[in-house]
Chains A and B, each alone.
Chain A
């Protein structure tokens, strides 16, 4: 392993040769052997027809030798034209025909097998090399210096690794085999021509030479264009990603058309480049073909001249022409191969140079540690640390600072005064342009990342969250090495071994993501069983626990991974319903009861009496669902529902007639969208004085769909009386009893004794509906549920489910404050020796900031905390304060001692 990540091989061929020479040689040998069989099989059909069928060979003899193997040789080596390797078996005509036909079949199969093997080998080698190259490129991204990420675009990097190197995979298999093979063919043909006539041979060589000289020159411009094409396409990918990232700015500033202009211009440029490419390419092809045809022209002319006026035989000219017929094929393919070679070489260079920024990290900084990392102790010492920006301005200017790793240091100062940059220097995110940082006596820059990553936490103002669960985001800081190997059974272990050996062949590491990478010890836990408790401690310190609890209540449970929680939730359901027998609470909830109509549920929900899974019984589709319609028809409810639909439509038309379209009431209260209101008005006017039976099917369907969303307790139109309730219950039974087998998975029926997998935790506990019109009903019920869960000791179980909440891309499903809190929890859970915070609570309101600050300082008691504060007034909680202004330390000391400092006093006054 080199101490500094070396530059990549510039030459694609050397790169390919270095990593695949063994495989290349094997494939080359296979190709040669395959040729022998191929040539041997060429003669077969002729023998079968002439000797086997027409019996030409049997005119004079009764038997012919079968499977005689002879090696054809040019006449100058042997007078006979071949040497015999095997005399064969003597056969009469019929057995000879049978044997020859079978041999033909065998040869076809053998040739096919060779082809298959060679192609498979080539493909595998190409894919291996592609895998190696992609891995190396990705590996280098992880070694880029941080400052480089200010210049590169993520989409361009991913585009290069994903798309731009892809054609290399196909080429690698042919990189050596193709030229060797085609070159051999061409040389043989050339040799034959030379033997026939030195003159003609010379002409052929001269024309080929001209071709070899002219064509690459024509291609030079093509290569330049190819490079431009690659760069413009890459920039296009980068711009598209920027458009997506900045989409809010685009909408709020109405710059969509400016973006359109930019992209259209880029596409135009790409078009011009590509069109020029085509022009050049086809011109080159034309010239190439022309030159290729010059040779026969010369052979006709000069060969003919030699026959007419010299001593050349006509046969020789024909022979040369025939030999030449075999020449253009391989030569043309060689030229194609060369073109492809230049293309991929150029692509390769283009990509590789993007992956060699200055200041790449030393590879050994990222070596996987063997075991737990020893704690840091002593102090962090900054000596003459200066950070100069590209412009030359110094955001930190010759700062000297000593901070013991068991004290709390507050950094205060005006924004941009240097406190932010100092924290980044200490977290090794910004390398100092001068000066050194030592921690516990060691140079910070030379400490392995595994040490700083384990013992130092840093949280800045922006927290990046991965699109995984809250739990995985918080535990992300503990995944530095595989701690517990994954459990495999025998078959899985063998599969894994094959996988690993293939990884090694492609130069990939053999780490297993299925291992448990979480360093439970570092978090003070013993394993997966109690790590959630450590997470909750961190969540409490940053005041995120309640939010996660709420996510848990609103989350669904994967009963296969957490069966115990499902059982506990059922216990909570029983407990809640026991409490609801209290008369003051009884009016708040109407429980699910198979035998009773629930007036606080919609008609559709009452009929289903379960949670729909997927689209089949979705509330929007339920009215048209054939099974539901059958159930309603069975109890004769269809006309009744239709009549209800008419009443609802009449009421809605009456109530909402005067409201302007788009009024919020439509969304909140109406069964009918504003734009559909006129349609219903028309239907009702057609209905005037007539029976609903006279309406057309479409109109009836529209009306019949309305009652499904009707909730008696909420909408209070008095549509559902006791008799209708009875019949709806009958329909509910008919629906459940006759449910087709293929729809059984589309609904989870309410069952008091079963956990409902499709419903949220809260709905599972409630097992009923909150009654409309009870003041603070939802609040009182939610408090009651919390009380029940608390009483049963289930709060932790709910939080466990809440921790499964997926935070979305970039954490967008959380608020900005929640993201900061998750970032802080991630920093706390690994129990660092030094916690560095850079205005990490800046989004909190002042009171919350104060509370969280106190809690975090309490959690980190006895360990080092360095906090760049956005409010100087919090500095009194720290052991030491350093005031930074203009990149320099202007005052330092205990908070009580430096109140006389003018800058500090000003900062305090500003809050």
Chain B
């Protein structure tokens, strides 16, 4: 895929929607677009994180270790992003993310991520929106668990 096609693809990803094309081109040029085979890990729970990923194609499982082995807690699709918590809070990876099938993802290194967020508040808003959704989702699940 050439860089022009990639920019077109990135335009359709919601968190990049408001970013001007020239910047997207720089993002595409300086970030690695990686291909993962099914089962390959994007990140591993407990490791130090240095990048976040935006999924451009395929799907991935989010797995959390438990005494009885890894539990799948979520599935990620195209346009989802993952790994932002470790670089935002400087904490180890909170979950393992593994490719469910053949997957392509944009790897955004920590430094570039902060630069983008600082330059494009719109992107920060998109990420906040997504994080808020996750908290809400968590609350729902927590309430359900308490009720049960």
A669 engages B34 (CB within 8 Å): no
User: Which among A9-17, A75-83, A543-551, A768-776 touches the partner chain?
Assistant: A768-776
Interface residues of A in 708-755 (CB under 8 A from B): 715-718
Q: Does A86 contact B (CB under 8 A)?
A: no
A774 engages B29 (CB within 8 Å): no
**Complex CA distance for A772 and B40, rounded to whole angstroms:** 16
CB-CB under 8 A for A669 and B29, given A716-B3, A717-B2, A717-B3: yes
8 Å CB contact of B30 from A668, A717, A776: A668
8 Å CB contact of B2 from A668, A718, A773: A718
Interface residues of A in 654-679 (CB under 8 A from B): 654-656, 664-665, 668-669
**Complex CA distance for A654 and B28, rounded to whole angstroms:** 13
Residues of A within 8 A of B30 (CB): 665, 668-669
8 Å CB contact of A773 from B3, B22, B33, B37: B33
**Complex CA distance for A669 and B31, rounded to whole angstroms:** 10
Interface residues of B in 1-43 (CB under 8 A from A): 1-4, 6, 22, 25-26, 28-30, 32-37, 40, 42
Interface residues of B in 30-65 (CB under 8 A from A): 30, 32-37, 40, 42
B32 engages A773 (CB within 8 Å): yes
Q: Quote the shortest CB–CB distance from B115 to chain A (angstroms).
A: 9
Q: Does A43 contact B (CB under 8 A)?
A: no
B40 engages A776 (CB within 8 Å): yes
**Complex CA distance for A904 and B11, rounded to whole angstroms:** 67
Q: Quote the shortest CB–CB distance from B18 to chain A (angstroms).
A: 17
Q: Number of residues in B with C-beta < 8 Å to the partner?
A: 20
Residues of B within 8 A of A776 (CB): 40
Q: Quote the shortest CB–CB distance from A647 to chain B (angstroms).
A: 11
A654 engages B25 (CB within 8 Å): yes
Q: Does B137 contact A (CB under 8 A)?
A: no
Residues of B within 8 A of A654 (CB): 22, 25
Q: Quote the shortest CB–CB distance from B117 to chain A (angstroms).
A: 16
A716 engages B40 (CB within 8 Å): no
Q: Does A584 contact B (CB under 8 A)?
A: yes
Q: Quote the shortest CB–CB distance from B66 to chain A (angstroms).
A: 25
A773 engages B35 (CB within 8 Å): yes
Residues of A within 8 A of B26 (CB): 655-656, 665
Residues of B within 8 A of A669 (CB): 29-30
A655 engages B40 (CB within 8 Å): no
**Complex CA distance for A718 and B4, rounded to whole angstroms:** 9
Residues of A within 8 A of B25 (CB): 654-655
A655 engages B111 (CB within 8 Å): no
8 Å CB contact of B22 from A655, A718, A772, A774: A655
**Complex CA distance for A584 and B2, rounded to whole angstroms:** 24
**Complex CA distance for A587 and B28, rounded to whole angstroms:** 22
Please give me the residue from chain B that is nearest to A663 by CB atom.
B115
Residues of A within 8 A of B6 (CB): 716
Please give me the residue from chain B that is nearest to A664 by CB atom.
B111
Residues of B within 8 A of A584 (CB): 37
Q: Quote the shortest CB–CB distance from B47 to chain A (angstroms).
A: 13
B35 engages A716 (CB within 8 Å): no
Interface residues of A in 495-511 (CB under 8 A from B): none
Q: Quote the shortest CB–CB distance from A473 to chain B (angstroms).
A: 34
**Complex CA distance for A665 and B111, rounded to whole angstroms:** 11
B40 engages A775 (CB within 8 Å): yes
**Complex CA distance for A249 and B124, rounded to whole angstroms:** 44
B29 engages A775 (CB within 8 Å): no
Please give me the residue from chain A that is nearest to B104 by CB atom.
A773
8 Å CB contact of B34 from A587, A655, A774: A774
Residues of B within 8 A of A716 (CB): 1-3, 6, 28-29
**Complex CA distance for A204 and B26, rounded to whole angstroms:** 98
Q: Quote the shortest CB–CB distance from B83 to chain A (angstroms).
A: 13
User: Per-residue CB proximity of B102-113 to A under 8 Å, as 1/0?
Assistant: 000000000100
Please give me the residue from chain A that is nearest to B3 by CB atom.
A716
Please give me the residue from chain A that is nearest to B107 by CB atom.
A775
Q: Quote the shortest CB–CB distance from B79 to chain A (angstroms).
A: 19
A775 engages B35 (CB within 8 Å): yes
Residues of B within 8 A of A717 (CB): 2-3
**Complex CA distance for A715 and B111, rounded to whole angstroms:** 20
Q: Quote the shortest CB–CB distance from B58 to chain A (angstroms).
A: 12
Residues of A within 8 A of B32 (CB): 772-773
Q: Quote the shortest CB–CB distance from A690 to chain B (angstroms).
A: 25
Please give me the residue from chain B that is nearest to A652 by CB atom.
B29
**Complex CA distance for A665 and B42, rounded to whole angstroms:** 23
**Complex CA distance for A669 and B111, rounded to whole angstroms:** 15
**Complex CA distance for A587 and B102, rounded to whole angstroms:** 13
B34 engages A775 (CB within 8 Å): yes
Residues of B within 8 A of A715 (CB): 3, 29
**Complex CA distance for A675 and B110, rounded to whole angstroms:** 26
Q: Quote the shortest CB–CB distance from B36 to chain A (angstroms).
A: 4
Residues of A within 8 A of B2 (CB): 716-718
Please give me the residue from chain B that is nearest to A585 by CB atom.
B37
Q: Quote the shortest CB–CB distance from B81 to chain A (angstroms).
A: 16
Q: Quote the shortest CB–CB distance from B134 to chain A (angstroms).
A: 24
A775 engages B1 (CB within 8 Å): no
Please give me the residue from chain A that is nearest to B4 by CB atom.
A718
**Complex CA distance for A655 and B24, rounded to whole angstroms:** 9
Please give me the residue from chain A that is nearest to B40 by CB atom.
A775
Please give me the residue from chain A that is nearest to B119 by CB atom.
A658
**Complex CA distance for A656 and B25, rounded to whole angstroms:** 10
A655 engages B29 (CB within 8 Å): yes
**Complex CA distance for A668 and B111, rounded to whole angstroms:** 13
A775 engages B42 (CB within 8 Å): yes
**Complex CA distance for A669 and B33, rounded to whole angstroms:** 14
Q: Quote the shortest CB–CB distance from B40 to chain A (angstroms).
A: 5
Please give me the residue from chain B that is nearest to A772 by CB atom.
B32
Please give me the residue from chain B that is nearest to A771 by CB atom.
B35
Q: Quote the shortest CB–CB distance from B84 to chain A (angstroms).
A: 18
**Complex CA distance for A775 and B36, rounded to whole angstroms:** 5
User: Per-residue CB proximity of A262-288 to B under 8 Å, as 1/0?
Assistant: 000000000000000000000000000
Residues of A within 8 A of B22 (CB): 654-655
Residues of B within 8 A of A668 (CB): 30
**Complex CA distance for A776 and B42, rounded to whole angstroms:** 9
**Complex CA distance for A772 and B3, rounded to whole angstroms:** 14
**Complex CA distance for A665 and B37, rounded to whole angstroms:** 29
Please give me the residue from chain A that is nearest to B34 by CB atom.
A775
User: Per-residue CB proximity of A770-803 to B under 8 Å, as 1/0?
Assistant: 0011111000000000000000000000000000
**Complex CA distance for A250 and B59, rounded to whole angstroms:** 55
Q: Quote the shortest CB–CB distance from A839 to chain B (angstroms).
A: 30
Please give me the residue from chain A that is nearest to B6 by CB atom.
A716
Residues of A within 8 A of B4 (CB): 718
**Complex CA distance for A669 and B22, rounded to whole angstroms:** 16
**Complex CA distance for A584 and B35, rounded to whole angstroms:** 12
**Complex CA distance for A773 and B26, rounded to whole angstroms:** 17
**Complex CA distance for A717 and B2, rounded to whole angstroms:** 6
**Complex CA distance for A656 and B3, rounded to whole angstroms:** 15
B35 engages A718 (CB within 8 Å): no
Please give me the residue from chain B that is nearest to A659 by CB atom.
B26
**Complex CA distance for A587 and B1, rounded to whole angstroms:** 15
**Complex CA distance for A655 and B4, rounded to whole angstroms:** 13
Residues of A within 8 A of B42 (CB): 775
**Complex CA distance for A665 and B109, rounded to whole angstroms:** 12
Residues of B within 8 A of A656 (CB): 26
29 A–B contacts, CB within 8 A, in A order = A584-B37, A587-B35, A655-B22, A655-B25, A655-B29, A656-B26, A664-B111, A665-B26, A665-B30, A668-B30, A669-B29, A716-B1, A716-B2, A716-B3, A716-B6, A716-B28, A716-B29, A717-B2, A717-B3, A718-B3, A773-B32, A773-B33, A774-B34, A774-B35, A775-B34, A775-B36, A775-B37, A775-B40, A776-B40
- CB-CB nearest 5 A-B residue pairs: A718-B2, A775-B36, A775-B34, A716-B3, A655-B26
Please report A residues at the B interface, Cβ cutoff 8 Å. 584, 587, 654-656, 664-665, 668-669, 715-718, 772-776
Known: A716-B3, A773-B34, A775-B37. 4 other contacts (CB 8 A): A655-B26, A664-B111, A774-B34, A775-B42
